Every structure is written in structure tokens, then in C-alpha cells.
Amino acid sequence: MFSGKTEELIRRMKRAEFARLRVEIFKPQVDTRYSDDEVVSHDKNTIVSTPIDHSSQLLLLTSEIDVVGIDEAQFFDEGLPEVCTQLANSGIRVIVAGLDLDYLGRPFGPMPQLLALAEYVTKVHAICVQTGNHAHHSYRITDSNSLVELGEKDSYVPLSREAFVKAMEKKSAGTASELDLKLARFVEEVEEKRRQTLERRRLLKQMALEKAGESPDLSES
């Protein structure tokens, strides 16, 4: 979570569009956090997508596509690696984004096999909210034990291995509630600072355009 994996997927897909390649991006039907028919990063960058229920549908929807993007691959069924292999063997470039570990630190869904089959692997990391180091884990700050729980800052925080191990030990001992609350508040503060920074950038952009006598486009990318 918060590592920029969806942001990177969107960037690569848009570059392919600029190169006038035929692209299509897919996401699991269950992912409706921001939009039903778009892939949306935590920074609110978007690209039109097609939600699907099963990986087998990819074979039916990509006959005239040059580049296929797949977001949140960890939520797909176990048939996804074989489907991706078939697409790649047919000459289609396949770009997959997903979490490699679940909230308990275990390999997540079809991701291990996808990582093994991939010709190129790019690992991106969030920053641990406790240590400031690279975060390798998504620590869940809710009480849910469901494997699939869609969420963002209200459900997960990025932690380094060291911080994650300590947090899980406290959770196992039943003493994690205070820690979870502290982490949640910290993430809220970081998110508010980020929002304020984006707003300042928007206003500065508006002022610069008005000074230049241009009509301001206030959308933030």
C-alpha cells in the first residue's frame, strides 16, 4: 500500500498510449474504492479500465490490444499467471501491478507465480510511518480477519519489517489497540499535510496562469 505501484502502472500505460499503441487496462470487479470503471492511484491519477470477474475474460477482451495492464493482481484468481503467459506468448506486452504480501506478511494470491514468470520485476516501496525506512509490509489497523479488505489510510499503514514484526507481536498479545490508534492518527496527519501541499501547488499554478493572462486549468495531476 502507498508504494506508488498503481501510479507506476498508470504512467507506463499512458506512455504506451503516447506511442500510439493499443492499450487496455483491467482490474478486479471487487475493486470499487474510487471508481467503478477507472484505475485510480492514491494520488487520484486515473486511467479508464475494464473491471472483470475472472482472469479468463482477459483472453476474450484483448484480441486487438498491444499492451495489457492489470491492477491489483493479488485479488485475481489463480488462473491469472497462465492467462498472462498466453497473452505474452501471443506477442502482447503484459504489465501487472499488485501486492506481493498480504496483511499477515504471507505471499498474496497469484503474485508469487507472476513474479517468477515475469521477465522484468520492479519493486516499489512505501515509507514506514514509524522508522522512515522502506516499508515492506501493509499493516492492518482494523479488527477484520478477512484476507480481502479494500481500504487505504483508514485500514492499512506501511511498515518496515522491524516495525511490522513488533506490531504483530503486540496484536497477538492483545496490546495493539493503542499502537493502531497512534499509527492511524499519524497517517491522517501525513495525509492532511499532503493535501495542503497539493492545494498550495494548485493555487500557485492558478496565480501563475492568471499573471500570464491564461485561463487556468485547476486540475491537479
CATH of the domain at 108: 3.40.50.300
SS3 readout for the chain: CCCCHHHHHHHHHHHHHHCCCCEEEEEECCCCCCCCCEEECCCCCEEECEEECCCCHHHHHCCCCCEEEECCHHHCCCCHHHHHHHHHHCCCEEEECCCCECCCCCECCCHHHHHHHCCCCCCCCEECCCCCCEECEEEECCCCCCCCCCCCCCCEEEECHHHHHHHHHHHHCCCCHHHHHHHHHHHHHHHHHHHHHHHHHHHHHHHHHHHCCCCCCCCCC
Whether residues 15 and 32 share a domain: the answer is yes
Let me know if residue 220 belongs to a domain.
Answer: no
Whether residues 28 and 61 share a domain: the answer is yes
Of the residues 8, 72, 149, 188, only one is catalytic, namely 72
Domain count for the chain, please give it. Answer: 2
Whether residues 81 and 101 share a domain: the answer is yes
Which tens digit of pLDDT belongs to each residue from 57-85?
999 999 899 999 999 999 999 999 999 99
Is 119 labeled as catalytic in the residue annotation?
no
pTM of the model: 0.72
Please report, rounded to a whole number, the percentage of residues in the chain having pLDDT higher than 70: 78
Let me know if residue 219 belongs to a domain.
Answer: no
Predicted confidence (pLDDT) at residue 221 exceeds the cutoff of 50: no
Whether residues 23 and 102 share a domain: the answer is yes
Which tens digit of pLDDT belongs to each residue from 120-173?
999 999 888 888 899 999 888 877 777 766 555 567 888 999 989 988 888 877
Whether residues 37 and 107 share a domain: the answer is yes
Q: Which of 68, 91, 124 is the last residue of a domain?
A: 124
- Comparing 14-18, 31-35, 147-151, 156-160, the range with the smallest average pLDDT is 31-35
Residue type, 28: P
Whether residues 48 and 9 share a domain: the answer is yes
Let me know if residue 221 belongs to a domain.
Answer: no
Q: Which of 82, 97, 124 is the last residue of a domain?
A: 124
